[in-house]
Amino acid sequence: MEKRLSDLRFVIGLFFLIVSVILILKGMTDDPTPLHLNIFSGSIMLVFSIIMITLHLMDKRYRI
């Protein structure tokens, strides 16, 4: 885990993954805006976090 946390792509991916989950959950339970901004922004962040984590996993140095 320590090795993974030393890769910035994983750290950034993890951060946005957590934030996106919070936003999506908040958006699904209570979002007063007509554009569903929490779900919209959370989904974009989720996609971004998956890309970052995938890039990290594709790097041979960090494969288990």
Question: Could you say whether residue 53 binds other proteins (CB under 8 A)?
Answer: no
Q: How far is C-alpha 17 from the chain's CA centre?
A: 2
The residue (of 30 and 64) whose beta carbon lies closer to other proteins is 30
Lay out the site mask for other proteins across 1-40 (x = CB under 8 A, - = otherwise): -x--xx-x--xx--xx-xx--xx--xx--xxxx-x-xx-x
**Cβ atoms of residues 20 and 49 within 8 Å:** yes
Q: Positive or negative CA dihedral for 22, 25, 30, 33?
A: positive
What's the closest the beta carbon of residue 50 comes to other proteins, in angstroms? 14
